[in-house]
Amino acid sequence: MKRVTRMLPVLVALVAATACAAESVPAPRAQAAPATQVPAAAAVAAPAKKVKLDIADITPMGEKTEKVGVGFPIIVTFDRDLKNKDKAAVEALLEVEAEKPVDGAWRWVSARKVIYRTKTYWKPYQKVLFTARLSELPGNTGAKDVSRRFAVGAQNISVVDTRKHTMKVYRNGKITKKIPISAGRGGLIRNGVDVYLTTSGVHLTMGKTAVETMTSSWMGVTDPKDPRYYKEEIPWAVRISDSGEYVHQSAGYYQFLGRSNQSHGCVRATPAGAKWFYTIAQRGDVVKITGTKRKLQWNNGWSYWQLNWTQWKKGSALKS
């Protein structure tokens, strides 16, 4: 069965901050994966027995119609673990409808989390509706369907070249701004990984804060007397991974921007450049980083585009 995202008639009307300054441990926690539309009539087996299933959390948030980037995932967390034999029946009831449809697929990342990612980036300037039809799950007495709407905004794709120390920001295919940056300097090896290096790969912006408190606690340094200790209030911080990487304003050290890599793993930018980037950033915008030997892991934050389409679909419970 081919799973596609259906055409939707015109609809009628964060990630928590951490104490990391840049890179933390190289093995981040698993994230939920985006959901894809599957026709409700899909021929899949029902759960083996009556079970009550509800949703504990959904990305995007439900308070309002969030405007997101073209790489945005839908993340669904259920209120209990599902057995592998029951996942297909649940997945078949997860539906994504878009005004400008593209193929998409779910990937289970744990016993209770599933993520939807499209085959190619969402087309910009459209509305999308996600619905979990849990009332149709056999034996799920009293369950209600759950929906979320979101709007895909401008196509923001930023390309960070850690060797040339630049970040080029493209909006809707046209270069809009070139910002001098300083990336991770390297030099701190943990479990065979240089955690001071910025990870190379396709990141997504996960959230942002006007001022982020960054400390050395991520590497176990909490004593202010330790020469490695730091605690800084960093402006215009846009998060791009679970391991503590941000695009943010450089806290001084402006002489290195555009010239050399001196950070603990974050992408430091000029005050004007960082503020501008913060202003336009939408959750799910694409940030491609190149030039380092440290590869971004696909489950480090929302780094799902590190898997190719064939790899991604292998995580679906619907083998079609």
Q: Residue 1 — very low, low, confident or very high, per pLDDT cuts 50/70/90?
A: very low
Same domain, 102 and 204: no
106 and 217 inside one domain: no
**pLDDT for the residue numbered 50:** 62
Q: Which residue has the higher pLDDT, 40 or 144?
A: 144
41 pLDDT band (50/70/90 cuts)?
very low
Task: Say whether both 120 and 169 belong to one domain.
Answer: no
Write the burial class of residue 168 (CB in 10 Å: 0-12 exposed, 13-18 middle, 19+ buried).
middle
241 or 190: which carries more pLDDT confidence? 241
For 54-83, the pLDDT digits (tens) are: 999 999 987 789 999 999 999 999 999 999
137-141, 167-171, 216-220, 278-282: which has the minimum mean pLDDT? 216-220
- pLDDT band at residue 97 using 50, 70 and 90 as cut-offs: very high
94 in any annotated domain: yes
User: Are both 171 and 271 inside the same structural domain?
Assistant: yes
145 and 275 in a single domain? The answer is no
pLDDT at 20: 44
In a domain, 23, yes or no: no
pLDDT, tens digit (0-9, with 9 covering 90-100), for 103-129? 999 999 999 999 999 999 999 999 999
- The answer to whether residue 236 sits within a structural domain is yes
Q: Is residue 228 part of a domain?
A: yes
Q: Are residues 166 and 258 in the same domain?
A: yes
Q: Same structural domain for residues 293 and 162?
A: yes
Better-predicted residue by pLDDT, 314 or 39? 314
Q: Tell me, yes or no, whether 122 and 204 share the same domain.
A: no
Nearest to 78 by CA among 47, 43, 102: 47
Q: What integer pLDDT is reported at residue 172 of this predicted model?
A: 98
Grade residue 12 by pLDDT with cuts at 50, 70 and 90.
very low
Q: If you average pLDDT over residues 248-260, what whole number do you get?
A: 96
| Percentage of the residues of the chain whose pLDDT score is greater than 70 | 84
Name the band, by pLDDT with cuts 50, 70 and 90, for residue 46. Answer: low
Give the total number of structural domains in the chain: 2
Distance CA 103, CA 142 (A): 32
**Can you give the residue range of the structural domain that contains 189?**
156-304
Query: Per the domain annotation, does 320 fall within a domain?
Result: no
CATH number for the domain harbouring residue 276 = 2.40.440.10
| Statement to judge: residues 203 and 269 lie in one domain | yes
Is 97 inside any structural domain?
Answer: yes
The enclosing domain of 83 has a CATH number of 2.60.40.3710
- Do residues 136 and 193 both lie within one domain? no
Q: Is 102 within the bounds of a domain?
A: yes
160, 300: one domain:
yes
Give tens-digit pLDDT for 198-237.
999 999 999 999 999 998 887 788 999 998 888 999 999 9
Is 206 within a domain? yes
Mean pLDDT of the chain: 87
For range 299-308, the mean pLDDT? 98
Same domain, 231 and 91: no
For every residue of the chain, which 3-state class applies, written as one string?
A: CCCCCEECCCCCCCCCCCCECCCCCCCCCCCCCCCCCCCCCCCCCCCCCCCCCCEEEEECCCCCCEEECCCCCEEEEECCCCCHHHHHHHHCCEEEEECCCCCEEEEECCCCEEEEEECCCCCCCEEEEEEECHHHCCCCCCCCCEEEEEEECCCEEEEEECCCCEEEEEECCEEEEEEEEECECCCCEECCEECCCCCEEEEECCEEEEEEEEEHHHHCCCCCCCCCCCEEEEEEEEECCCCCCEEEECCCCHHHCCCCCCECCCEEECHHHHHHHHHHCCCCCEEEEECCCCECCCCCCCCHHHCCHHHHHCCCCCCC
